[in-house]
Amino acid sequence: MSVVEPNLIKLAIVGAGGVGKSALTVQDSYRKQLEVDGQVTLLDILDTAGQEEFSAMRDQYMLNGEGFLVVYSIIVRQTFNEVVSYRQHIQRIKDGDDAPIVIVGNKCDLEEKREVAVSEGRDLATSYGVPFFETSALTSTNIEEAFFALVRAVRRHRSGEGKLGGGKSTIKKSGSSSPKVKRACILF
């Protein structure tokens, strides 16, 4: 097993095609340095976009990843239904159920097309004991917060503390930057 630098974290973004995985990462870059809780961390982001049909490559990304953003689109119910399969696949590849995961409902700027209620995403994440965020790559809503939560989860995992405190979550609202329509994306 190779030694991992304490300030380098490999994250994998997984989810069905078209949910906005690349849009969440291209928002910045595939390698990003950020400060979380006063500690500088370098993220190596493994984007599985476009590899839905190349399972061996996706599996390699999952094997190398320390933490996972499992992304679905709030406007396509089927992508939400597939979250369970992605989580099970991560568990199989990582040989356990304690891999750091954050569930992300993307495209919350498209409220009028919503097919998946906020409560459904929140309830699924709570049942797994993991954080949940609704994001928008278009408006940059909650993207940084989702990555921060994943970094914290990886740090807890490395230190042996495990998952987010038994699925307990707090509510925080972030408004959209659009002056015309009043919107809020909720994160837990």
For residue 111, give the DSSP letter. Answer: G
In angstroms, the CA 155 to CA 41 distance is: 10
Which residues form the domain of 31?
A: 8-187
Query: Nearest-CA neighbor of 103 among 75, 78, 135?
Result: 135
CATH code, domain with 176? 3.40.50.300
Q: What is the reported pLDDT for 171?
A: 33
In angstroms, the CA 31 to CA 28 distance is: 8
Q: What is the reported pLDDT for 180?
A: 36
Model pTM? 0.77
- Let me know if residue 1 belongs to a domain: no
Q: What is the reported pLDDT for 161?
A: 75
- Let me know if residue 3 belongs to a domain: no
| 99: three-class secondary structure by DSSP | coil
Instruction: Give pLDDT < 50 ranges for the chain.
Output: 1, 28-29, 165-188
Residue 68 CA from chain centroid, whole number: 6
- Let me know if residue 108 belongs to a domain: yes
Number of domains in the chain: 1
Q: What is the reported pLDDT for 104?
A: 98
pLDDT (tens digit, 9 = 90+) per residue, 120-148?
A: 999 999 999 999 999 999 999 999 999 99
- Let me know if residue 52 belongs to a domain: yes
- Let me know if residue 2 belongs to a domain: no
